[in-house]
Homo-oligomer: A and B are copies of this chain.
Amino acid sequence: MSLKHYRHLQEHFHSLIRNKVLEAGSKLPSEREIGEQFKLTRVTVRQALQSLEMEGMVYRQNRRGWFVSPPAVVYDPAAHLSFNIFVTEQGYTPHTEKLQQTLVAADSEVATKMNLAVGTPVLFLHRRRYIDNRPVLIEKMYINTTLLPGIEEEDLTQSLSQLLARKYQMSYRDMDLSFKATSLPEEATSALGITAGQSGLNIERINYTQDKQVLEIDYEYWRHDAVTIQIAIRD
Using a CB–CB cutoff of 8 Å, the interface residues on chain A facing chain B are 51, 54-56, 72, 77-78, 173-183, 197-201, 222, 224, 227-235
Contact = CB atoms under 8 A, between A and B. Distances in A.
A230 B181 contact: no
B181 A231 contact: no
A129 to B, nearest CB: 17
B199 A182 contact: yes
Contact of A181 (B174, B178, B181): B181
A215 to B, nearest CB: 14
The winner among A55, A178, A179, A230 for most chain B CB atoms within 10 A is A179
Nearest to A177: B231
Contact of A173 (B183, B231, B235): B235
A14 to B, nearest CB: 13
Contacts of A72: 180
Contact of A229 (B56, B173, B178): B178
A66 B124 CA distance: 39
